[in-house]
């Protein structure tokens, strides 16, 4: 059971925001069960020179509801987030799947211009 992640970012100057799309793909030959303990299915973090500058879950509350989803072989699912009013700079964006007993992470570089 193998999960592979990909992270895409788009700086939306019209909305003054950075949009994140985290795609998780089951690259294995068997279905994979994803179990979640709350409404936060993926975490998104921005880092600048090793210092965390933004975290999607900061200041947010998530429903404490158990849920699950199954990914068949070759199937993908996506999780999205938005960073509003970002500061200009170059950052490392990290997305992490929040499913229990499943590891999947993706990183990319995002540049925010004035």
**Does residue 21 have a pLDDT over 80?**
yes
Supply the pLDDT for residue 14.
Answer: 52
How many domains does one find in the chain? 1
Supply the pLDDT for residue 12.
Answer: 61
Task: Output the domain CATH number for residue 47.
Answer: 2.60.40.2360
| Separation between Cα atoms, residue 50 and residue 47, nearest integer Å | 6
Supply the pLDDT for residue 32.
Answer: 94
pTM of the model: 0.88
Q: pLDDT, tens digit, for every residue of 38-70?
A: 888 999 999 999 999 999 998 878 878 888 899
Domain that holds residue 98: 3-112
CA dihedral 107, 99, 10, 49 (to 10 degrees): -40
User: Which of 20-24, 65-69, 101-105, 106-110 is predicted with the least confidence, judged by mean pLDDT?
Assistant: 65-69
């Amino acid at each position: 059971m193998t999960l592979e992640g990909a992270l895409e970012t788009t700086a939306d100057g019209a909305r003054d925001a950075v949009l994140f799309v985290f795609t998780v793909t089951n690259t294995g030959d068997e279905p994979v069960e994803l179990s979640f303990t709350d409404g936060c299915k993926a975490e998104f973090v921005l880092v600048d020179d090793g210092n965390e500058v933004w975290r999607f879950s900061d200041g947010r509350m998530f429903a404490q509801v158990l849920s699950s989803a199954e990914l068949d072989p070759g199937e993908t699912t996506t999780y999205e987030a938005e960073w509003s009013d970002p500061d200009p700079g170059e950052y490392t964006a990290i997305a992490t799947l929040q499913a229990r007993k499943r590891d999947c992470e993706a990183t990319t570089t995002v540049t925010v211009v004035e």
